[in-house]
Structure 1
Amino acid sequence: MALQALRDDLVYYYGYSQGRGFSISDLFSRTSNKILSQVTSLMTLPLPLLSFLAVPFFGSSSTTISLAFFLLTWVTLVSTHNPLYLELVGTLTIKVIFFLLPSLAVLGFDSLIPSLSASIKSRGAAQLPTQLSSRRLRNVIFVSVFNVAFSVVIQGLCDYVLTEVMNIRSAIRVSKIPPAPWPTMVKEVLYGLACRGLLHYFIHRDILHASPRDSILARWHADWAHGLRHTFSLASAYDHPVCHLLTDCAPLYLSTLFFRFHVLTWYILTAIISLEQFFIYSGYSVLPSQILLAGMARRTDSHYATGGKGNYGNWGVLDWICGTGCPGDADVVDDVQDEVDKRNVKQRASKAIGDAGERLRKSNDSVRHLNPPSRKIRKTILIFCTGIKIFVPKSEKKQKTSSMSFSMIKLY
């Protein structure tokens, strides 16, 4: 009897384990399939987005076809995805591609080839990120990546509150028909950059650089961001999360909330600002634009080197207007003047004006030496003018006759 009971128990537990194993494997299979489908849908979103952003850089005779393909793909995406999903995934994709990946690549370059990197840094080897301890560098990397992801999460929460809690329209417009590239999208981008620069300057100057005794935000900004005396690209996102939201995310989001830009305009603005942050915090003296990015990078570096004594805006225009540049540092007007002198703009402009005048004089000489009209053409003109003279009213006949006589004298 004992053996029979033991046998029955073994059969029972064997069958039970078989059933549990089947259910667990089935659950695992369904879960993996669902995750795979979500990842696949996530990967399909950046493709039309990247094709749209690449059109201005790689456009050719097939630009119209590329735009038509993008339009069809965009309509399909908007029809099959939630607007908030499109907004957040697109924003995160752009920040990863245009900021995080290039910043991490440059950080690897600075760490692996420090001698070459130091030769193109504006302050030499002192500006290398390897000057930080390994623990501090890991902390900078972690906080920067966290702030990028955290900003996207907060953006999603704000839109959710606007649409689901307050029952009003979202801050960013998502529609199947994108705005016209010219002039609608261009104007929206210019408005967004101008408003974002204005808000960034005043938030940075009046809130984050107020007296640390009176403002906890200023204390956080001084301890976190200005704990680094020199900059590198990834450090542009290194700050207390609240300060990062105020100075880097809120200006663009508030500008978009005010104008309610289309989500494609939001993508373009996010890409431009991500590239701007990547370049001006890099610390390199060799940059794509010597007149714009180089000056912005130098002023940003001076802002950190002086502990935040000036240069609160990225573009430098508001610092020049308000007189808040770093002491002894060249402003944006000096940058423009240096570039004008370096490229000999005045001499080139004078030469261009002289060449234009010479071409105009030669064209006048060629017109003056043209052969006079033939006898047949002159007779036709005379008959035509005589016919006009007959039908001209008496009050205007004298004036018309004198003008036609003068024209006939010139012809003959």
Structure 2
Amino acid sequence: MLSSWSTSLNLVFFSLTWTTVAMNYSPLQLEFFAPLMLRTVLYLLPSTLFLLFDLGVPSLAVELKSQGDAALPARQKGGAGKIRAVVGWSCFNVLLAVAVQAGVEWLVTDVLRMRSLLLIKGSAWTLNHLPNPWSLFKHAAIGLASRNILQYYIHNHILHSPNGGTLANWHQTWHHSIYVPYSFVAAYDHPVCYLIHRFLPLYLTAITFRFHIMTYLLLVGLFSLEETFTYSGYNVLPSTIMLRGMARRNDAHMMSKGKGNYGPFGVLDWAHGTTLGGDVMDDLHKEMDKHNVDDRSAKTIDAAGEAATGLVGKLKGKSAKSRGK
């Protein structure tokens, strides 16, 4: 009973706080400062701490790195100068994405006098500035799925395509100049490639479905933590959402110069046969073993995997027949 009351009070105080913030700040201010704070606190600051740890205590850091001594930033090609370039451009790209979002909001609301692209302010009569739970869950699921789908196809068919032209060349010479990743490498890319690959997949989805800004910020925070951990190079990671498998696939992607593992979660890599090393199904089995999930659930996942594989094969067969005709 006490726990229920505590949760309810926390929600009430959070609702009042957010309502006050939404009433006192413009959509432009919220769309600039809120993402900037999240990206700073959940990506830039942890990445800085990880880098200082790698540089300051290399003898201890190497024991936590999946790729050992080769994963230490100071041991990689370019030395201190390359590290400064990676950190500088990563910070610039993060700030650029926030500035682009704020610029679009300024153009839409202040210049064109249209409503904000994200839902920020609720009804003036009810002061309801928070999304309802169903909308938050639905839009979060859409954002999660759409972001991963768009990132996979952009990464595979543009940034690593023989026909990718200038964008593919920029991505290869910038991002893939690093052999083994550390957290800042997630945002180290040519600014245009960074916006296309990292910023637009979530932002375009959010404005298309007009997410509530709280839902958008929730996803920004989640993806910031994902990038921080999965690019860290460490083998000691939280087990939630199969972060270790995601980190392992990122390592393989970087070390192969981009020959596979194009999606964050690995689902589309598994479906299209572009996985390097263990795939997402292996990660699911490891997670189930870790949490003592029974054999029935394991068989269910295997059956689902086989069904999905068969469906992908049929689609490929139909596509080949249509091309033949």
TM more than 0.5: yes
Tell me by how many angstroms 1:190 deviates: 1.2
**Which of the numbers 300, 322, 331 marks the counterpart of 2:279?**
331
Distance in 2 of aligned mates of 1:310 and 1:289: 23
**Which of the numbers 107, 113, 118 marks the counterpart of 1:172?**
118
**Aligned AA for 2:9?**
I
**Aligned AA for 2:263?**
G
1:188-208 superposed Cα distances (whole Å, 9 cap, x missing partner): 211111111111111111111
- Native 8 Å contact 1:179 1:185 kept in 2: no
Q: Which residue of 2 aligns with 1:103?
A: 47
Q: Output the aligned Cα RMSD.
A: 2.1
**Aligned AA for 2:61?**
S
- Native 8 Å contact 1:197 1:314 kept in 2: yes
Q: Which residue of 2 aligns with 1:198?
A: 149
Q: Which residue of 2 aligns with 1:274?
A: 224
**Which of the numbers 6, 17, 23 marks the counterpart of 1:73?**
17
Query: Per the alignment, do residues 347 and 189 of structure 1 end up closer, same or farther by CA in structure 2, a change over 3 Å counting?
Result: closer
Tell me by how many angstroms 1:340 deviates: 3.5
Distance in 1 of aligned mates of 2:231 and 2:8: 36
Superposed, 1:233-244 pairs within 5 Å as 233-244=183-194
Q: Which residue of 2 aligns with 1:155?
A: 101
Distance in 1 of aligned mates of 2:112 and 2:85: 38
- Native 8 Å contact 2:131 2:214 kept in 1: no
Structure 2 gaps of 5+ residues are 123-127, 299-325
1:358-385 superposed Cα distances (whole Å, 9 cap, x missing partner): xxxxxxxxxxxxxxxxxxxxxxxxxxxx
Q: Which residue of 2 aligns with 1:93?
A: 37
Is residue 2:198 matched to residue 1:248? yes
Once structures 1 and 2 are overlaid, which stretch shifts more, 306-315 or 193-202? 193-202
Query: Per the alignment, do residues 179 and 104 of structure 1 end up closer, same or farther by CA in structure 2, a change over 3 Å counting?
Result: same
Tell me by how many angstroms 1:156 deviates: 1.1
Tell me by how many angstroms 1:115 deviates: 1.3
- Native 8 Å contact 2:27 2:116 kept in 1: no
- Native 8 Å contact 1:162 1:168 kept in 2: yes
Distance in 2 of aligned mates of 1:76 and 1:346: 48
**Which of the numbers 286, 295, 309 marks the counterpart of 2:245?**
295
Q: Which residue of 2 aligns with 1:188?
A: 139
1:238-271 superposed Cα distances (whole Å, 9 cap, x missing partner): 0011111011000010010111011111110100
Q: Which residue of 2 aligns with 1:211?
A: 162
- Native 8 Å contact 2:15 2:130 kept in 1: no
The TM-score with structure 1 as length reference comes to 0.66
Quick one: percent identity of the two aligned structures? 43
- Counting matched residue pairs gives 289
- Native 8 Å contact 1:291 1:335 kept in 2: no
**Aligned AA for 1:134?**
A
Task: Identify which of structures 1 and 2 has the higher relative contact order when contacts are C-alpha pairs closer than 8 Å and 6+ apart.
Answer: 2
Tell me by how many angstroms 1:167 deviates: 4.2
Tell me by how many angstroms 1:337 deviates: 2.4
- Native 8 Å contact 2:229 2:247 kept in 1: yes
**Aligned AA for 2:99?**
V
**Aligned AA for 1:308?**
G
Is residue 2:66 matched to residue 1:122? yes
Tell me by how many angstroms 1:78 deviates: 1.9
- Native 8 Å contact 1:233 1:277 kept in 2: yes
Once structures 1 and 2 are overlaid, which stretch shifts more, 252-261 or 74-83? 74-83
Superposed, 1:15-34 pairs within 5 Å as none
Query: Per the alignment, do residues 347 and 77 of structure 1 end up closer, same or farther by CA in structure 2, a change over 3 Å counting?
Result: closer
Superposed, 1:378-393 pairs within 5 Å as none
Greater than 4 Å deviation, 4+ residue runs: 341-344, 347-350
- Native 8 Å contact 2:237 2:244 kept in 1: yes
**Aligned AA for 1:189?**
A
Q: For 2:159, what is the secondary structure of its paired residue? A: coil
Structure 1 gaps of 5+ residues are 1-58, 351-412
Query: Per the alignment, do residues 149 and 65 of structure 1 end up closer, same or farther by CA in structure 2, a change over 3 Å counting?
Result: same
**Which of the numbers 221, 226, 241 marks the counterpart of 2:176?**
226
Distance in 1 of aligned mates of 2:241 and 2:219: 21
Tell me by how many angstroms 1:145 deviates: 0.7
Q: Which residue of 2 aligns with 1:345?
A: 293
Distance in 2 of aligned mates of 1:180 and 1:169: 17
Distance in 2 of aligned mates of 1:151 and 1:347: 45
- Native 8 Å contact 1:197 1:313 kept in 2: yes
Q: Which residue of 2 aligns with 1:388?
A: none
Q: Which residue of 2 aligns with 1:305?
A: 255
Q: Which residue of 2 aligns with 1:285?
A: 235
**Which of the numbers 79, 90, 96 marks the counterpart of 1:144?**
90
**Aligned AA for 1:284?**
Y
**Aligned AA for 1:93?**
M
